[in-house]
Amino acid sequence: MLYPQLTKTRNLYDLNGVWNFKLGDHNPQEKLSSETVMVVPTSFNDVSVDKDIRNYIGDFWYEREVEIPKVSRDEELVIRFGSVTHRAKVYVNGEFLGEHEGGFTPFEIIVPENYYQEQTLKISVCANNELNYTTLPVGNYFEEVQEDGSVKKVVKENFDFFNYAGIHRPVKLVVRPKTHISDIVIVSTLSNDLQTADVAVTVATSEAADEVRVTILDEERNVVATAENGRAVIPNVRLWEVLDAYLYTAQVEVYKGGELVDTYSEPFGVRSVRVAEGQFLVNEKPVYFKGFGKHEDTFINGRGLNEAANLMDLNLLKEMGANSFRTSHYPYSEEMMRLADRMGVLVIDEVPAVGLFQNFSAALDILGDGEKPKNTWEVMQTKAAHERVIDELVARDKNHACVVMWVVANEPASHEDGARDYFKPLIERYRDNDPQKRPVTLVNIMNATPDKDQVLDLVDVVCLNRYYGWYVAHGDLKKAELGLQKELETWQNLYPDKPILITEYGADTLPGLHSMWDIPYTEEYQRDYYEMNHKVFDTIPNLIGEQVWNFADFETNVMLIRVKGNHKGLFSRNREPKMIVHDIKKRWTEIPHYFSKKK
């Protein structure tokens, strides 16, 4: 789906700001009171300053009125949502117009023509944040009868981040031609000497047009190529390189009866990506991933778009000598993807497939209550949701140069019977959908050890989340080192042709807490923990990178093992560095972005 853009043929109006707001029921044929308001975009949870509202599960409503802009006879009016978490029904002047399931991808609602002559539009959005065993992410849903007899909906997250909800990303009103560009697909193929790019630009239109013209512009807006039959050749191409981005623009024009009816400019970078012989190649050079698992998580905004935080995070990432992040554990905003494109940051793009482990706390016996886990694949009914999130993510992000790999799931029970049947078609679906045929991976949980995992032979890169010295051998780094070394060597031997990427490793650390001994939660322990991990990583030839968990501390549900959130960040939640930042910056600055241990 195209990002909303102002062009000669399209108008864009911002619907962000203050909306009327209500938890619970509302009849959209009536007017929502303005007694309670909410800002868009943001999570409603933290700004409400009320514990019950913060933890509320169920329907909640947003409503506002806007004056209708001029829409001529050959144009249409569209309401475009960047994301509503986790689902939304949209009404205009009381009439139901459409809905969207899934909290992290954009959707559009076309306003019917009979409204265009009216003075105002009343837009009502019924959002809902319930999660269960059919949704992604996966939540444990139940209902509790209260003392007064009322029923309270509860979701216990099957994942380790706060279930923030709301209209999380911008809302726009778009006036566009009825005959418009509905999609652009860009695939570049490089010549062997990497000097020339053959760029295939496929354009879809909503209705038949007479002619589609595609012009390729460089960053100075000079014309560098014109497409013939959907193909343009860029000679002396400037490649999109890691932290040295270069973006061309495909300027698409659609004509009907000799008249320009729609135009749209899609930025794109030219680079190649492939996996071969245990290496991850960008522009045919092996890359070493240095970076982070992240979250969209800031004070006040929760999971709502915070563009200043996004830019600061990528500046901090660069400052640390890093070059990459994973969109753990859901698709990030389109604004973040565009920023990563522009800054040359590598992105591993993940769908919200987290929690696909029926009872992971029981399996790890974190709670120590000996509860027996059930077979995940017998109880989960997430197939339809999973197909949808893959389709929507690839449709949204396919043209981004920054996206170099897709993730099918984070830490599913890939060691339980049924996992292979569940994942095989989903991995194939990514490959079929992706016009650029990027590598696909699954992020493996530590329970799914090399002898038990049933899926990783199907993916391109072995991605591992490993917590030796934290969840395993807690506080005993000697024992942790032996365990980690042994396991990584086993993976290396099992898949000698596959690259291995550490997608998570980390230790909760409270800044300012110190000890002369190896005591978990202190800044010294975090330092020693990373030192031990890096020592082991450097001995594994196929290990192509390390992404620490996490970039910054982040909010979670209340749990025995969480002290007001997860504190594995290298930065605090407000982006202040912990002591470890200096060590890791030193290490990463010394490792080139293009680097391989294999010669």
Any idea which residues carry the catalytic annotation? 411, 504
Give the residue with the Cβ less far from ligand GCB, 329 or 400. 329
SS3 474: coil
> What's the count of helices (H) and strands (E) in the chain, helices before strands?
11, 32
Give the residue with the Cβ less far from ligand GCB, 248 or 423. 423
Residue written as tokens 């982070």? 292
Give the residue with the Cβ less far from ligand GCB, 422 or 549. 549
Least distance between ligand GCB and beta carbon 563 (Å): 12
455: left (phi over 0), alpha (psi -120 to 50) or beta: alpha
Give the count of residues interacting with ligand GCB (CB under 6 A).
Answer: 10
Least distance between ligand GCB and beta carbon 508 (Å): 7
Least distance between ligand GCB and beta carbon 566 (Å): 5
Residue pair 415/453 in contact (Cβ under 8 Å)? The answer is yes
> Quick one: which of 162, 164, 549, 551 contacts ligand GCB (CB under 6 A)?
549
Bridging pattern class, strands 403-410 and 440-444: parallel
What is the distance between the alpha carbons of residues 539 and 371, in angstroms, rounded to a whole number? 38
Give the residue with the Cβ less far from ligand GCB, 253 or 508. 508
> Quick one: which of 75, 297, 349, 504 contacts ligand GCB (CB under 6 A)?
504
Site residues for ligand GCB, 320-379, by CB under 6 A, read 329
DSSP conformation letters of 394-452: HHHHTT-SSEEEEEEEES--TTSTTHHHHHHHHHHHHHHH-TT---EEEEE-TTS-TTT
Give the residue with the Cβ less far from ligand GCB, 10 or 295. 295
> Quick one: which of 80, 568, 578, 593 contacts ligand GCB (CB under 6 A)?
568
SS3 376: helix
Least distance between ligand GCB and beta carbon 516 (Å): 26
Residue written as tokens 């050959």? 74
What is the three-state SS of 195-207?
Answer: CCEEEEEEEEECC
Site residues for ligand GCB, 254-293, by CB under 6 A, read none
Least distance between ligand GCB and beta carbon 343 (Å): 25
Least distance between ligand GCB and beta carbon 315 (Å): 24
> How far is CA 123 from each of CA 3, 88, 236, 286, 454, rounded to the nearest angstrom?
21, 12, 50, 50, 48
Give the residue with the Cβ less far from ligand GCB, 549 or 551. 549
Give the residue with the Cβ less far from ligand GCB, 283 or 447. 447
Least distance between ligand GCB and beta carbon 551 (Å): 12
If one asks whether residue 465 binds ligand GCB (CB under 6 A), the answer comes out as yes
What is the distance between the alpha carbons of residues 421 and 439, in angstroms, rounded to a whole number? 20
Least distance between ligand GCB and beta carbon 364 (Å): 10
If one asks whether residue 160 binds ligand GCB (CB under 6 A), the answer comes out as yes
Least distance between ligand GCB and beta carbon 161 (Å): 6
Give the residue with the Cβ less far from ligand GCB, 100 or 567. 567
Residue pair 439/399 in contact (Cβ under 8 Å)? The answer is no
Least distance between ligand GCB and beta carbon 44 (Å): 23
Give the residue with the Cβ less far from ligand GCB, 82 or 355. 355
What is the distance between the alpha carbons of residues 54 and 338, in angstroms, rounded to a whole number? 31
Maximal CA-CA distance, the chain: 79
What is the distance between the alpha carbons of residues 155 and 130, in angstroms, rounded to a whole number? 7
> Quick one: which of 101, 411, 487, 553 contacts ligand GCB (CB under 6 A)?
411
> Quick one: which of 83, 399, 410, 436 contacts ligand GCB (CB under 6 A)?
410
Bridging pattern class, strands 223-226 and 440-444: unpaired
Residue type at 452? K
Least distance between ligand GCB and beta carbon 56 (Å): 23
Give the residue with the Cβ less far from ligand GCB, 312 or 472. 472
Interacting residues of 527 by C-beta distance below 8 A, sequence separation 6+ = 579, 580, 583
H helix runs in 131-284, sequence order:
none
Q: Which residue's C-beta sits nearest to ligand GCB?
A: 160
Give the residue with the Cβ less far from ligand GCB, 247 or 413. 413
DSSP code for 483: H
Residue type at 402? C
Residue pair 375/417 in contact (Cβ under 8 Å)? The answer is yes
What is the distance between the alpha carbons of residues 86 and 131, in angstroms, rounded to a whole number? 8
What is the distance between the alpha carbons of residues 224 and 481, in angstroms, rounded to a whole number? 53
> Quick one: which of 158, 566, 569, 570 contacts ligand GCB (CB under 6 A)?
566
User: Residue 357, class by beta-carbon neighbours within 10 Å (0-12 exposed, 13-18 middle, 19+ buried)?
Assistant: buried
If one asks whether residue 164 binds ligand GCB (CB under 6 A), the answer comes out as no
Interacting residues of 282 by C-beta distance below 8 A, sequence separation 6+ = 241, 242, 271, 272, 273, 346, 404, 594
Footprint on this chain of ligand GCB (rule: CB under 6 A): 159-160, 329, 410-411, 465, 504, 549, 566, 568
